[in-house]
Amino acid sequence: MLLALDGPSPFTIATDHFAYWLHQNPSFDWHTVTESSFVSDFAKSEAKFQDVIGTDSTELDGFIEHKAKDITYHGVADPLIFSRGTINYFERLHRKYGARNVDKFARLFMVPGMSHCSGGPGPNAFGNNAFGGPAVPSDPQHDIFQALINWVEFGVAPDQITATKFVNDNPANGVAFTRPLCVFPKVAKYKGVGNTADATNWTCVQGITNDTTEDADAVLRDRGDTDADDRAGNRR
């Protein structure tokens, strides 16, 4: 993970965005990016491309009116697309609509120890096709896509998903352990008895909420986020 964050070859999507999209200069040297220039470049990027590729708007009234459902998952150990950004988004949704109302149409499952979409030391198989096929049971308890279908078609919202870690990430080698994935901001806690490798001996409890929204707003507020503007005004 350290190499992905601070290695000799950074995430190419990020560097290509600066070179080809933002500066429109294939020779742009990413080494010239500083903390202050990043803030200004980020604002320019939002102004140019938010309406084209922006995915973080909290204006979901139309989504709600159509009775649509969303299930999002993110690996906590993702070194390329940082999980705190997804947490930030759901915190802003909670501020806008209220956490209980958000749970009626959107649920976030953070995956401890999972890397970018798969991999990592955590439980990383839960119907996300991380290994090229349905290695887990195709039911709403173990398969996150089946959980979404169950929610849309039968109105049963998933409270937790059982994720599996295979030995050496190979289903042919057997199961190393299973663990429940909980609806944010809940986290899995060991019950204190039984095999820790068995998901049934864990339960979802309220986690400690770290307000990433306020931290992020202090540096770089979301363009057009009236909630962020209101919060900034309240602090002045």
What distances in angstroms separate CA 193 from CA 63, 74, 161, 196, 203, one per listed residue? 42, 28, 21, 8, 12
Mean pLDDT, rounded, for 216-236: 48
**195 pLDDT higher than 90:** yes
Question: Does 130 or 80 have the greater pLDDT score?
Answer: 80
Closest CA to 68 of 12, 140, 148, 6: 148
- Structure token digits, residue 203: 């339960």
**Per residue, what are the HEC states of 156-198?**
CCCCEEEEEEEHHHCHHHCEEEEEEEEECCEEEEECCCCCCCC
Domain ranges of the chain: 1-54, 61-206
**54 pLDDT higher than 50:** yes
Q: How many CB atoms lie within 10 A of CB 196?
A: 13
Helix/strand/coil for 47:
helix
**145 pLDDT higher than 90:** yes
The per-residue pLDDT for 229 is 44
pTM: 0.83
DSSP state of 13: H
- The predicted-structure confidence for 1-49, as pLDDT tens digits, reads as follows 556 666 677 888 889 999 999 999 999 999 999 988 998 998 899 899 9
Q: How many CB atoms lie within 10 A of CB 102?
A: 21
Report the range of poorest mean pLDDT among 53-57, 139-143, 228-232: 228-232
**111 pLDDT higher than 70:** yes
Q: Which residues contact 90 (CB under 8 A, 6 or more apart)?
A: 72, 102, 106, 108, 184
- Contact, 191 vs 117, CB < 8 A? no
